[in-house]
Structure formats: structure tokens, C-alpha cells
Amino acid sequence: MQRDVYMFSNGTVKRKDNTIYLVSEMDNKKRPLPVEQIENLHLFGEVNLNSAFLNFMGQKGIFVHFYNYYGFYTGSFVPREQKVSGIVTVRQSEHYLNKEKRLALAQAFVQSAAFHMIRFNRKKNNMDSEHVKEIQELQKQIASVKDVQQLMGLEGLIRQNYYQSLNELILPEFYFTERTKRPPRDPFNALISFGNTMMYTTILSEIYKTQLNPTISFLHEPSQKRFSLCLDLAEIFKPLFVDPLIVSLVNMKKIQPKHFEDYEGMVYLNEEGRKIFIASFDKKLSDTIKHRQLNRNVSYRYFIRLECYKLIKHVIGDTPYKPLRAWW
């Protein structure tokens, strides 16, 4: 079975036949990785590699994701698309260019996000929170917005209240005053940023297993410098997957203040903290739930791909898109 592989130390990536070797700079130890077992390779350290290695990754359809010293995502090597559909790209573009069609999809993403924010607070017995009540009131306005810009403003208000509700669910040493991204200014913001980064790369890998174009989005504005459809789909999965994981790690004290570093006001997870987070992230991705329509167990990772398939069916005019609303 294929899996994600992570390299945290500095070193070199080498290939011999069908085996990849991660050679650590610190102890020069070789870590063999049969290529058939790798789905995504995540490189957090300063790693030397060459074009022959990337060509091999391309042949095998393996994604290579790069992160800087602080654990922030910098980019990906994406193999040549194997699943290309001109008709899906055309229809996906049509739904972006048509204001009504674009708004309908954008509203669906925000509705699912708000649903999962409320769901998480309900599971934590936090429904009496004024912030949760405000989310519920704001959620009622989603269907009546006139354009995507107005929807983005509403989504921002929902998320502000949601982050404040998270403060009511975590240990005092992780309280934060506001969401700060570039850079994160406190440990909890650093966790959110890192968790979102891992979700974006996971979604990107799943999108490329379908015929969707990751640069054509509906809620977020398409850009030359990002895979904006990942941001759209992440709206669904951040409050369903990432945030509950973060709160759990903090409250169970698996992640502690010692797992963070501060550099000129920028707070980031250190290597030990990233390893703890990624181990839990990978485990949760593989957790399964009985799917009501498919009548079989489906992993969180596969739920992401199913969301992609639903989008495809929508844009080609097969089945109207209904975003995921967790029933478990």
C-alpha cells in the first residue's frame, strides 16, 4: 500500500533501480524506500537531489512537496497529469465564468464549512458560546449573498467567531487573540498554519488523481501562483479534520509549548513538534467511516477524492453538487 513519506533531516535523496535512499547528513545512514510504497514525498530539510531523480518521480507518479526550514510549504514537484479531460476543464472554466454557477458552488463550500464548525462545537458541548450562536446567525445569510466578494466577507466573519470559539476549547497556555498567518505569532496559530499546509498538499494530491484542474476555483480567486481549488476544498475539511486534530493534540498535551520556536516574532513548530503532528495527521487520514451510499468503509483521505468526483459530476451536468456534511 502506498503512503506518504517524510524527511526531516538535511541530506541527499538518491535512487538505485526501484529503490530511493534518503541519506542523512548527520549520520550518513541510508534509509531505503521501495518506490512502489511511496505516494507523496515530503522534504522538510535541506535536501540535495537532481533532475534524474525528479524524472524518476515523474515516471512513477510520485509527488514531491517541499517545505522551508520553518516548516512552511514552498512548492511541489507534480508529475505530468495522467488523468486529463478537456471537457472537464472546459466545463470547470464555464462554472467559474458564469457568476451564478460560481456563486452556487462557493456558497456550498461555505455552508459545509459552517456546518462542520458548528458540529465540532456541538461535539465539545460548546453550543452555549456566543461565538457559536453568531456563527449560526451568519450561516443563515449565506444563501442570500449576491456575489462571491460578499460571500468572502461573510465567510471571514464566520471564521473569526469560529477561531474565538476554539479558544473556549483549548488549554489556557495555548490561548490566542486573533488569527495571524504571515507569519504566525503564537503557538496555536503556528499549529493552524502547519495543519492547513498539510491539508492543502493532501488535497492537491487527491485532485491530481481526478480530471479536475487545481488552478480553477470558485470561492477563492484563481491565481497564477497557487492551486486555488485546494483552498476551496480545504474550507470543508479544515473544521472537520484539521482543527479537531489540533485541539486534541493540545488538550492531550501531545503538543506542548516546548515544541515551538520563536524567530523574530515568527512562531513555528520545531522538528520534534512536526513529527508528532504528522504522525497523528497521517493516522487520522487513514481512519475510516462507513459510507452511507457506498456501503463500505471510506478513509478521510478518500472522502477528499469523493468530493472531487462530486465536483466533476456537477460541472459536466450529471449530478448537482452537494458538499460533504459529516453524519458521524
User: Does the pLDDT of residue 151 top 90, yes or no?
Assistant: yes
> Where is average pLDDT lowest: 3-7, 93-97, 214-218, 266-270?
3-7
pLDDT at 8: 87
pLDDT at 9: 81
Q: Where in the chain is the domain with CATH 1.20.120.920?
A: 86-315
Compare 9 and 243 and report the one with higher pLDDT: 243
pLDDT at 195: 97
Domain 86-315 has CATH 2.40.50.70: no
Pairing of strands 63-67, 38-43: parallel
pLDDT at 226: 75
Residues tagged in the binding site annotation:
155, 220, 235
Compare 279 and 70 and report the one with higher pLDDT: 279
Provide mean pLDDT across the span 4-17.
85
Compare 84 and 325 and report the one with higher pLDDT: 325
CB under 8 Å to 130, separation ≥6 — which residues?
Answer: none
Output the CA–CA distances (angstroms, integers) from residue 277 to 239, 248, 266, 301, 319, in the order listed: 16, 11, 19, 17, 37
pLDDT at 81: 67
User: Does the pLDDT of residue 271 top 80, yes or no?
Assistant: yes
Q: Please tell me which of 102-111, 169-178, 219-228 the model is most confident about, judged by mean pLDDT.
A: 102-111
Q: How far apart are alpha carbons 306 and 311 in whole angstroms?
A: 9
Residues 3-77, CATH architecture: Ribosomal Protein L15; Chain: K; domain 2 (3.100)
Lookup: cell for 147: 456575489
pLDDT at 19: 82
Of 71, 25, 19, 76, which Cα lies nearest the Cα of 48?
A: 25
Cβ proximity of 7 and 43 under 8 Å: yes
For the chain, the first-to-last Cα distance in angstroms comes to 26
Phi, psi of 226 (to 5 degrees): -155, 160
Q: How far apart are alpha carbons 309 and 207 in whole angstroms?
A: 9
User: Does the pLDDT of residue 28 top 80, yes or no?
Assistant: no
Provide mean pLDDT across the span 203-225.
90
User: Does the pLDDT of residue 82 top 70, yes or no?
Assistant: no
Q: Where in the chain is the domain with CATH 3.100.10.20?
A: 3-77
> Where is average pLDDT lowest: 33-42, 145-154, 266-275?
33-42
pLDDT at 106: 98
Residues tagged in the binding site annotation for Mn(2+):
155, 220, 235
Output the CA–CA distances (angstroms, integers) from residue 59 to 47, 51, 65, in the order listed: 21, 12, 16
User: Does the pLDDT of residue 18 top 70, yes or no?
Assistant: yes
Compare 109 and 50 and report the one with higher pLDDT: 109
Question: What secondary structure does DSSP assign to 275-311, as a single string?
Answer: HHHHHHHHHHHH-EEE-TTT-SEEEHHHHHHHHHHHH
Compare 143 and 86 and report the one with higher pLDDT: 143
User: Does the pLDDT of residue 98 top 90, yes or no?
Assistant: yes
Provide mean pLDDT across the span 134-156.
97
Give per-residue pLDDT as tens, 215-254. 999 999 987 667 899 999 999 999 999 999 999 999 999 9
Query: Average model confidence (pLDDT) for the chain?
Result: 92
pLDDT at 53: 86
pLDDT at 27: 77
